[in-house]
Structure 1
Amino acid sequence: QREEAESLGASFKFEDPCKHLSQEEIQAKLDAKEPYVIRQTIKNVGETSFDDEVYGHIEFDGDLLDEQILLKSDGFPTYNFANIIDDHQMQISHVVRGNEYLSSTPKYNLIYDAYGWERPTYVHVPPVMKDEHHKLSKRNGDASFQDLVAKGYLPEAIINYLALLGWSPETEQEIYSLPELIKEFKVSRISKSPAIFDIDKLTWMNGLYLRNMDEETYYETVRPYLEKAIQNDYDLKQIAKIIQPRIDHLEQIEEAVDFFDVLPDYDLQMYKHKKMKTTLEIALKSLKAVEEELSALSDWSSEQVIHDMLLALPKKMEMKNGQVLWPVRTALTGKQFTPGGAIEIAYILGKDESLNRIRTGIERLEKELESAK
């Protein structure tokens, strides 16, 4: 039947040949214990309709519906049959599901009607897509809610973002608590069009949640990640404080702070900074001056003391702030991008470690410049 329909370019609808058997033929097959299924009989239905909370009033030609299998040859019900019975017995009032089931709903309604049961209220929603052509699919490796949490996204941020996929509030507000979402949500605001899952938008929203946390809540949230990433004895609360404005999800923490334990073998070209007008020669000059000043600094108990010293030095040397601070930050972290500035990081590292790293930078720059002669 399918091949014939395809050859004619017509849509396929299965016509069950068993419908034309006589009662005698049916009984003979039953007596012979031939396997059979039970199908839904759809005959002379004509126009049928139902109302959906998202898509409105929908009409179908009932006589074009497939006569679906209700009981399989092993006696077990199909999902499409069992789910109707299950929903009725559990007194389900609203059925919320993907819009791919819109075309099946008239068949479900015929079963509700056949039993004399009240039809539920239908809410068919569009799919969430990974791009314009593919739906999100766990089978294809797309992240589940649990996967996103494991990747360092906050549950409340995920819920907030997912609520805005395919649904729009009446205002421009984007950040909602769960009670606010419950209060504002209206089914009538659900879009009929698919929504595309944008991981960058979720990351942005997650970053807002992290930055808006109070200091103590934020610290307790990031502390397990800091304890995993940093083994040396540093003030984790201070590190949490400097990364808070710069972290968008928790998995970024380990890479952002790994330099505290071990200074990476960084490229000396990092000392060059076009905007700061910093060269290797300028970086060496700055580091030597900073090393001298920090060595003489007896009080390391306050970040303000280090701040005052490092910001006084550029004026004293008649240089720009960046020409001093950039080389220091590079020497202390060995990273192009850091969760804090030179002053904050020096304070956390402590005097001895800061001086060791600056001296390492001086030695490497001296060797590089000497070999270049």
Structure 2
Amino acid sequence: MEIRTRFAPSPTGYMHIGNLRTALYEYLIAKSQGGKFILRIEDTDQGRLVEGATDIIYNTLKMTGLHHDEGPDVGGEFGPYIQSERMGMYMDYAKELVEKGEAYYCFCTKERLEALKENNGEGAAFAKYDRHCFHLTKEEVQEKLNAGEPFVIRQKMPEEGTTTFQDMVYGEITVENKELDDQILMKADGFPTYNFANVVDDHLMKITHVVRGSEYLSSTPKYNLLYQAFGWDAPVYVHLPAVMRDAHHKLSKRHGDKSFEDLVREGFLVEAIVNYIALLGWSPSDNTEIFTLQELEEKFDIAGLSKSPAIFDIKKLTWMNGEYMKAMEFEKFYALAEPKLREALGETQLDGKKIAVLLQKRLETLNDIPALVAFFKELPVYGTELYTHKKMKTDDAIALTSLKAAIPVLQELAEWSETTIHDSLIALVGEMGIKNGQLLWPVRTALSGEPTSPGGAIELADILGKEETLRRLEKGIALLSN
């Protein structure tokens, strides 16, 4: 049997981390077993649709490499893959259930339903429909339909016994049927409910594995009863625990938590985000942490999924992001870093590649670049305290002497390169009878004006050029002389 999974988002806004993790696991379940990954857009909740949200879905899947085998934009033999374009079939399937006695028309007004909630002794949240319309005769139902009265179609739930289903993460789950409400299948506007359309579409698209958040565990008995009512085989269920901000709160955009787009804008690499999200609820058997997408396809196993909520740790993602940049081929890294470098360096003619070499092993995110390279464009205002360094054995007096000695040596250089700068300064250290740091630390400080920098004195001098290097050294002397 071919494994077929589907990512079925509603185009209602940004791509949150939990949603992307679901898509990733669905993709990996399919690809790890040579199956198909399908994209279906579920847009039947017309009131919540957000313009441009479908494009976000397409762009996110493309950026992350989660290429779908079937979908609205690539086609397939089970389309259309947008629910609103499948509208003609849902009412027919609902009426089929009515004919089987598994569903019924309900004409109750909104006011009557609200009254049921208000008068429920256990509270509105526990109110169940009282099956008022279930007892209508066929003639009464037809009379109301002929009169054009608004209606919904409800699923008739069993009132006795239990419903049991097997979940790949949570194991066997059983619920008392008397706890199940007669859920609506078709709404008064003619659109199917999310639950009903899901079951119909999953069956028709031959979906074998349904992956979704654990918040849908309580709905799954209703899904199973629908499959039974139609005489269809139920899929394999894989429910995922929540992604949490901390031990008590789920991730939420309303509370400032990041979406996928936010993380990309903040300088995180797509590959690192995907790698990190894969580990939010899944553990490989060998405890490896760094994976390419292809390696995830090869290693992924449903058995590695956990039922415990996963906490999104931005520090762990930041560490992983840095590891990705360190391991990246330089040309690929430079292609990612170059736009931010150019923006930060402005009109200067400095060699961006040389700066990128210094940055690659130091960055945590691409957005660190502007702050780390700002001093190349303009020397910041700084104080003499930066020249004092216990480990380098420098203070203001030593720094002043070193800078004054360095200027004439550097002025004499006919060729300006890392090699010539290095050789001339190290020779000067020998002549002065001091430690390397007692010369190089003051030079580095004068060139950057920062307590730390992405390179040492020699690299910075090479990048800044002879004229700017000498100018900054003179400025350092002036500061130390006051």
Match of 1:293 in 2: 409
CA distance in 2, matches of 1:11, 1:149: 39
Letter in 2 for 1:12: F
Q: Counterpart of 1:203 in 2: which secondary structure? A: helix
Letter in 1 for 2:132: C
CA distance in 2, matches of 1:213, 1:20: 64
> Offset at 1:298?
2.8
Give percent identity, aligned residues only.
Answer: 55
Match of 1:125 in 2: 240
Match of 2:297 in 1: 182
CA distance in 1, matches of 2:480, 2:375: 19
Q: Counterpart of 2:411 in 1: which secondary structure? A: helix
> Offset at 1:276?
2.8
262, 267, 270: which one pairs with 1:152?
Answer: 267
Match of 1:371 in 2: none
439, 444, 469: which one pairs with 1:329?
Answer: 444
Cα deviation code 1:183-223 (max 9, x no counterpart) = 11001110101111111111111111111122333222322
* Higher alpha-carbon deviation: 352-361 or 19-28: 19-28
TM-score normalised to the size of structure 1? 0.90
Equivalent runs, 1:85-164 vs 2, <5 Å: 85-164=200-279
Equivalent runs, 1:184-203 vs 2, <5 Å: 184-203=299-318
Q: Check whether the contact 1:286–1:327 (CA below 8 A) recurs between aligned residues.
A: yes
Match of 2:74 in 1: none
* Higher alpha-carbon deviation: 226-235 or 329-338: 226-235
Equivalent runs, 1:294-309 vs 2, <5 Å: 294-300=410-416, 302-309=417-424
Q: 1:114 to 1:20 in 2, by over 3 A?
A: closer
Equivalent runs, 1:212-231 vs 2, <5 Å: 212-230=327-345, 231=347
Q: Counterpart of 2:288 in 1: which secondary structure? A: coil
Cα deviation code 1:290-339 (max 9, x no counterpart) = 12321233331x31221122233334333332222222111101112211
Match of 1:169 in 2: 284
> Offset at 1:62?
1.6
Match of 1:249 in 2: 365
Cα deviation code 1:104-158 (max 9, x no counterpart) = 0000111111111111111111121122222223454432223322222222111
CA distance in 1, matches of 2:190, 2:332: 56
Q: Check whether the contact 2:117–2:123 (CA below 8 A) recurs between aligned residues.
A: no
Letter in 2 for 1:178: L
TM-score normalised to the size of structure 2? 0.71
Letter in 1 for 2:296: L
CA distance in 2, matches of 1:139, 1:111: 34
* Higher alpha-carbon deviation: 85-94 or 216-225: 216-225
CA distance in 2, matches of 1:83, 1:187: 22
Structure 1 gap ranges (5+): 368-373
> Offset at 1:3?
5.5
Cα deviation code 1:263-285 (max 9, x no counterpart) = 11223322222333432222222
CA distance in 2, matches of 1:212, 1:73: 56
* Higher alpha-carbon deviation: 31-40 or 261-270: 31-40
Q: 1:53 aligned to 2:172?
A: no
Match of 2:128 in 1: 14
CA distance in 1, matches of 2:140, 2:384: 90
> Offset at 1:26?
5.6
Q: Counterpart of 1:169 in 2: which secondary structure? A: coil
CA RMSD of aligned residues (A): 2.3
CA distance in 1, matches of 2:131, 2:332: 68
> Offset at 1:180?
1.1
Q: 1:366 aligned to 2:481?
A: yes
Letter in 1 for 2:410: L
Cα deviation code 1:162-193 (max 9, x no counterpart) = 11111000113211111111111001110101
Q: Check whether the contact 1:13–1:64 (CA below 8 A) recurs between aligned residues.
A: no
> Offset at 1:73?
2.2
Q: 1:211 aligned to 2:326?
A: yes
Letter in 2 for 1:76: F
Equivalent runs, 1:14-53 vs 2, <5 Å: 14-16=128-130, 18-19=132-133, 21-23=135-137, 33-53=148-168
CA distance in 1, matches of 2:135, 2:267: 62
421, 425, 447: which one pairs with 1:310?
Answer: 425
Match of 1:273 in 2: 389
Q: 1:76 aligned to 2:188?
A: no
Larger RCO, structure (CA 8 Å, separation 6 or more): 2
Q: Counterpart of 2:126 in 1: which secondary structure? A: coil
Q: Check whether the contact 2:151–2:188 (CA below 8 A) recurs between aligned residues.
A: yes
65, 87, 105: which one pairs with 2:180?
Answer: 65
Letter in 1 for 2:451: Q
Q: Check whether the contact 1:96–1:124 (CA below 8 A) recurs between aligned residues.
A: yes
Q: 1:337 to 1:73 in 2, by over 3 A?
A: same
Cα deviation code 1:56-112 (max 9, x no counterpart) = 221111221122111222232211212211222222111100011011000011111
> Offset at 1:13?
4.0
Match of 1:352 in 2: 467
CA distance in 2, matches of 1:20, 1:164: 48
Residues paired across the two proteins, number: 365
Q: Check whether the contact 1:263–1:334 (CA below 8 A) recurs between aligned residues.
A: yes
Q: Check whether the contact 1:291–1:355 (CA below 8 A) recurs between aligned residues.
A: yes
> Offset at 1:4?
5.9
Structure 2 gap ranges (5+): 1-115
Q: Check whether the contact 1:49–1:57 (CA below 8 A) recurs between aligned residues.
A: yes
Q: Check whether the contact 2:118–2:124 (CA below 8 A) recurs between aligned residues.
A: no
Letter in 2 for 1:185: F
| Rg comparison, structure with higher value | 1
